[in-house]
Structure 1
């Protein structure tokens, strides 16, 4: 072997080693995602949740969602202009809903509904109805303004209807397609007819699969009725039934799961922005109202709502526990008072907050009793 061949061989070995090291570094990167990264390494839910669980800043959680939305619902489905603008539009609607909730529950109304550090005299119904000349002039004498309630008047159904149709879509329930073709490789049209929730109402021509299932004597069309589409897919897999490329069953499931996930996280992002926009005391309390109305996790507002200088903190904790919250929940102390984005925050459990504040509350009540 001459010197030239030796050099070529050495170069190939070095290139192979370089590629191996790159792969290893990428694997290490995926296993050790830094706390504040918003990079989506892989396009599936587990990675999103892994990154989300390691993010502490709520704005970073929103960015993580926008990245996921772009990679999984925008990229490849729009023109270049659409790919650029759709993530921005998603940010805009998240902000729009957060602002609506601020208008629906102004600071003084939040303090009234979620007793905090100040006692509010102002009520939203007085501002919007009782002291509104237009309302009093419009209503006839036999109609009582006091029966009107602003949160009910400006309710979520009315707000959603006021949105453009494409934005309303984010609040609609996700439904499975009504019928799903399943390519079994047989000369029959095999099809599932589904309810919006994915339950099989009717199965068509699946008995043609019996020839591949010699030990099966059941009527598959009847067997699949009443089962969920995911159960049907699991039946195929557990019985080694090969699904051909043209089948729609997996696509239907993936589409449904993707949009349920996307809309679920969309509502979470609105809650995050409500917390951030409202500041250290009002933000978490307003988000708590949002969480209860939109079936979000009430742990989140509590986690980010521990302002140790807040005289009304114990009242907030009491509301949280009353709503089914856990004393074991770990919260961040003074999230809104951090001096930098990456500042490491102290944590405290809800039970520890109660143990800390109950004696103070008791002494305060005792002093009032003595007076």
Structure 2
């Protein structure tokens, strides 16, 4: 049997459904305007929320770290791969998040895989919001724990599941802080209240809340004033922080346990020192100034209001993630392609990432977008939206 025939059949099916996509190869670094095939394109799909990828303090920190440490760490963290710059980053992250400790992983995805597979055993149950990120879903699949799903942000259903699962040793309620496809915020105060009432653990993935929600971008726990009541906070260093990596923030005992059990931590080479230094500089930039976060929210709220005024369906968005709901996968991808012709990159997102009838173009507004940038995007969206009968 030639396995490639099966792969080719899958690809042909995606093409028939209009869901096939090619990877865009950009000719410049992450920024508001980027080069694609010799053209300047307005970037409206980047996770570079605060524009830190080009911040001079971050670049200087990376260059200095390369000069001091070289380009790689040479080993996993538990052998010779923990340099003093890694320890400094974890101390700074813990202070920034208001927790006892923090542990850095190579990516946000591996952070969820490592943490969930470590803290959950066969006698436990994990209770997960139905729209949680793929990394959470995959992390749960690696465990032998029982699994329960509650409807998106449905607190009545969550309480019912908590009541039904009291026989389990540990119950861990898992939620995104900001949901990546819809841009809505988890009802964290209500989740915490229920977890406290039923003696459950609260686990929050703040990938899209890191650097976005809370004072100076400290995340959803700070946003809601829940310090000391959220047991496990997951953060990313790959989005608003401007580099790459992820981390767990929580108790010192949790950190020590993960060091001994989290397989991505144990079996992957640690962050290059330049990356760790970059992340450390980014946290210091956030700690010292909230101007970038303020600008991010001014841009996002104004842009979303303009889109709604034009008649676009932006779903449940309440953050800088702003989807335009279109529905049909093929139509969604054609809409995205047409926007690109107008000079705006807005990624079409279709099944299986979202439901078959919930295709959308996902826009992400950043602190670096100027009023002129956003006006250009709005004009292009209005033009293409009318062509497609969306307005």
TM-score, normalised on structure 2? 0.24
> Which has more helix, going by share of residues?
1
TM-score, normalised on structure 1? 0.25
User: Larger radius of gyration, structure 1 or 2?
Assistant: 1
Higher RCO, Cα 8 Å, sep 6+: 2
> Which has more strand, going by share of residues?
2
